[in-house]
């Protein structure tokens, strides 16, 4: 693992720079908030529970 030296000391591995650049790029795809994903997951789980309860009756 390579470490880069800055003026104040040693920083993290130089390979982390590529990861930062990867996550900074904008892919242009649909923007989905985490709240939307959680909401859809909760609704989906409630539908599954309702279907299971109705199937037992």
The one-digit pLDDT tens for each residue of the chain (57 residues) are 555 555 555 555 666 665 666 666 666 778 889 999 999 999 999 999 999 999 875
* 3 close to 14: Cβ distance less than 8 angstroms: yes
CA distance 32 to 37: 7
* DSSP string for 37-57: HHHHHHHHHHHHHHHHHHHH-
Domain map of the chain by residue range?
3-56
């Amino acid at each position: 693992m390579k470490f880069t030296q800055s003026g104040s000391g040693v920083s993290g591995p130089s390979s982390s720079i590529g990861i930062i650049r990867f996550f900074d790029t904008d892919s242009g795809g649909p923007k989905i908030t985490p709240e939307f994903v959680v909401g859809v997951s909760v609704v989906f789980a409630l539908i599954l529970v309702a279907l299971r309860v109705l199937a037992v009756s």
